Amino acid sequence: METKKIRRPAVAGMFYPSNPDKLKKEIEILLEVSIPEIKLDNIFGLISPHAGYIYSGRTAAYAFNQIKNKIYKTVIIISPSHREYFPGVSVYDGSGFETPLGIVELDEPVCSLLADKSKGIFRGSIGHENEHAVEVQIPFLQIVLKNFRIVPVVMGDQGKMFVDGLAGKISEAADENTLIVASSDLSHYYTKATADNMDSIVEHRLRAFDIEGLEEDFNSGRCEACGAGPILSLMKSAILMNKKKSYVLHRDNSGTTSGDYMKVVGYLSAAVCG
């Protein structure tokens, strides 16, 4: 009998609690203190940060509060690759992801569809084994949703060719029961003043749903996001599906927690709607 390939937690106990009761409680508290000012419908995608929960958990909670108790059968989670470069986009080839809250199964048909007849998207484990940016999103999903499956996607190369290719495949695979989560932090290790200036550019472009402007700003270095490719892939797939609104839900930086405002990391959460 074939043994199922499960991706085990890589950052439990570091980025979030490894004890399931403590993890559940921490997420519930984050959700309780991060109530959005507006309640959105027809949410196609979320942008959520991926630092340790102590730093970015509240910003992420503003996004996940928007989908609490809603029905999504499939969640496509797109992340950058922090630890290894590889050409293309890797869709995990196992059968599930484990967190302290349990195992979430993969949506095998959607995983296969993304990689089918694609030169840049493939099934594999490369980019997934030690990557935190997909993993940290899953416990939040386990608390706010029921009966969903995931499609873990890691971008080894965030170039335009791979962004456009992934956006096109997502638009083919997604339906009204699909949620896209783009996992990304913003600027890294600038002073708070510089970070605010750079991150506000991302916020402005998202509020205007200005994909071309945001792509140009990322390419020119006017602003930064380690998950620029995931963000652009989400927005471009939304356009292909005639969804053209985005709402910034919260923006913060690591200095709020650490007290160090000389080298901060920026965080933002947003929702993309139909």
**pLDDT at position 274:** 85
Question: What is the domain partition of the chain in residue ranges?
Answer: 6-273
**pLDDT at position 2:** 56
Average pLDDT over residues 246-253: 98
**pLDDT at position 206:** 98
Tokens standing for residue 153: 């996607």
Secondary-structure class of domain 6-273 per CATH? alpha beta
Q: Can you give the pTM of this predicted structure?
A: 0.97
**pLDDT at position 119:** 87
**pLDDT at position 1:** 44
How would you write 113-173 as a 3-class SS string?
HHHCCCCCEEEECCCCCCCHHHHCHHHHHHHHCCCCEEEEEEECCCCHHHHHHHHHHHHHH
Distant-in-sequence, close-in-space partners of 206: CB < 8 Å, separation ≥ 6: 47, 214, 246, 248, 268, 270
- Report whether 45 contacts 271 (CB < 8 A): yes
Length of the chain: 274
Q: What is the pLDDT of residues 82-125, one digit of tens each?
A: 999 999 999 999 999 999 999 999 999 999 999 999 989 999 99
Q: Angle formed by the axes of helices 53-65 and 20-32, to 10°? A: 60
pLDDT band at 229 (very low <50, low <70, confident <90, very high): very high
CA–CA dist 106, 87 (Å, integer): 23
pLDDT band at 215 (very low <50, low <70, confident <90, very high): very high
Distant-in-sequence, close-in-space partners of 259: CB < 8 Å, separation ≥ 6: none
Average pLDDT over residues 18-29: 98
* pLDDT, the chain, mean: 97
Whether pLDDT at 160 is above 80: yes
Cα distances (angstroms) measured from residue 87 to each of 120, 181, 229: 8, 21, 13
Question: What is the three-class DSSP state of 12?
Answer: strand
Average pLDDT over residues 51-68: 98
CA 215 centroid distance within chain: 18
Average pLDDT over residues 195-209: 98
**pLDDT at position 254:** 98
Cα distances (angstroms) measured from residue 99 to each of 71, 81, 103, 108, 269: 21, 19, 6, 19, 22
Whole-number percent of the chain with pLDDT over 90: 97
